[in-house]
Structure 1
Amino acid sequence: MTKVIQDTDSDACTLAQTLLKNARHAALAVMIEPGQPMVTRIALAQDMDGAPLSLISDLATHTRALREHAACSLLIGEPGEKGDVLAHPRLTLVAKAQLIPRDHADHDKRAAQYLEHNPKAKLYLGLGDFKFVRFDVQSALLNAGFGKAYHLTPADLAL
């Protein structure tokens, strides 16, 4: 039987870190009700410590879902313009969402860092219903292309 999951090495960690660092958006999977998953696209950046970070509206279905069930998953990675879409690397993060209130002591630092990565988000920062959500990664799966799958830990993603 062929080994499906490869031993994690420095190349896998570097690729995962690069995917996370360069990601401007992700697919976010949440549970809107028991047995009813939902996937949506969110803008993405990294927090001061490298954790995935997004700016989301209190009005959004996925925000309400994260309040009820913090467990979620993010998919990061873009298929290339040519070739098999499944041959391009992608990173799945299993995480717990932490909603960050606007009056948090690090809000301004997060805002400045987030805007460096997503400058068009400045409009949303001024709206009262938007807040940051930090994704505390519990584990990850890197698919680096056909036959190149790796289980990763949060430490493997640290820059």
Structure 2
Amino acid sequence: MPNQDPFRPVDDDALALSRALLTGASHGALGVIDPETGAPMVSRIAFALIEETPHTLISDLSHHSGALRANPDASVLLGEPGPKGDPLTHPRLTLQARAEPADKAALRTDWLAACPKAKLYYDFADFSLVRLRPLSALLNGGFGKAYRLTPDDLRRALA
């Protein structure tokens, strides 16, 4: 029996759900590769869309910041389980991304509008604003609703 592709074609519902997850997220789980061990590592990060592109603010002292300097490839999981039911039936979006430096001074107002509590530490010298340029994404919209999204799909979702 041949393997069946579990992914559905991207449609308007998938784009709308992706948009909701991207615009509704204030935090996510960042996956990186530990440069010392080569093993995956996950951290919770602040998350915001700035100019329709995912961003995060991270301390240069954090372990994941060093991991991104060594290898800028990362993933970010967005979406939270609802108050009831099986957590695996709730929608989530995993972005595969390339971490790139962002202009922290130029984007200060945008970041603080999205994450106002960061005003306490945004200007600390050890904090950097990082753009997470999407390379691809996997959307799990619930049981039997899996989609592969391209960067173009994500742009259309946010248009």
Question: What's the CA shift for 1:67?
Answer: 0.3
| Distance in 2 separating the partners of 1:93 and 1:24 | 15
| AA in 1 matched with 2:34 | I
Aligned to 1:36, which of 35, 39, 50? 39
Find 1:12's aligned residue among 11, 14, 34. 14
Q: Scaled by the length of structure 2, what TM-score is found?
A: 0.91
Partner of 2:109 in structure 1? 112
> Could you say which residue in structure 2 is the equivalent of 1:90?
92
Alignment of 1:56-67 (within 5 A): 56-67=58-69
Shift of 1:126: 2.0
Worse-superposed segment, 109-118 or 35-44: 109-118
Partner of 1:8: helix, strand, or coil? coil
TM superposition shift of 1:99? 2.2
Q: Deviations over 1:100-127 (max 9, x none)?
A: 3xxx4xx344211111111000112121
What 5-or-longer segments of structure 1 have no aligned partner? none
Given candidates 126, 130, 134, the residue that maps to 2:127 is 130
Code of the aligned partner of 2:140: N
- TM-score, normalised relative to structure 1: 0.91
Q: Which amino acid aligns with 2:85?
A: G
Give the SS at the match of 1:125: coil
The 2-side partners of 1:85 and 1:145 are apart by 10
**Partners in 2 of 1:81 and 1:112 — Cα distance?**
33
CA distance in 2, matches of 1:99, 1:108: 12
Moved over 3 A (4+): none
Q: Could you tell me how far 1:32 is from its partner in structure 2?
A: 1.0
State percent identity of aligned pairs: 49
Q: Deviations over 1:77-120 (max 9, x none)?
A: 010000010010000000000023xxx4xx34421111111100
Report the Cα distance in structure 2 between the residues aligned to 1:3 and 1:67, rounded to whole angstroms. Answer: 35
Q: Secondary structure at the match of 1:21?
A: helix
Once residues 101 and 147 of structure 2 are traced to their aligned partners in structure 1, the CA distance between those partners, rounded to angstroms, is 29
Corresponding residue number in structure 1 for 2:54: 52
Matched, 1:148 2:155: no
Letter in 1 for 2:142: G
Amino acid at match of 2:47: L
**Contiguous gaps of at least 5 residues in structure 2:** none
RMSD, aligned CA: 1.3
> What letter is aligned with 2:133?
D
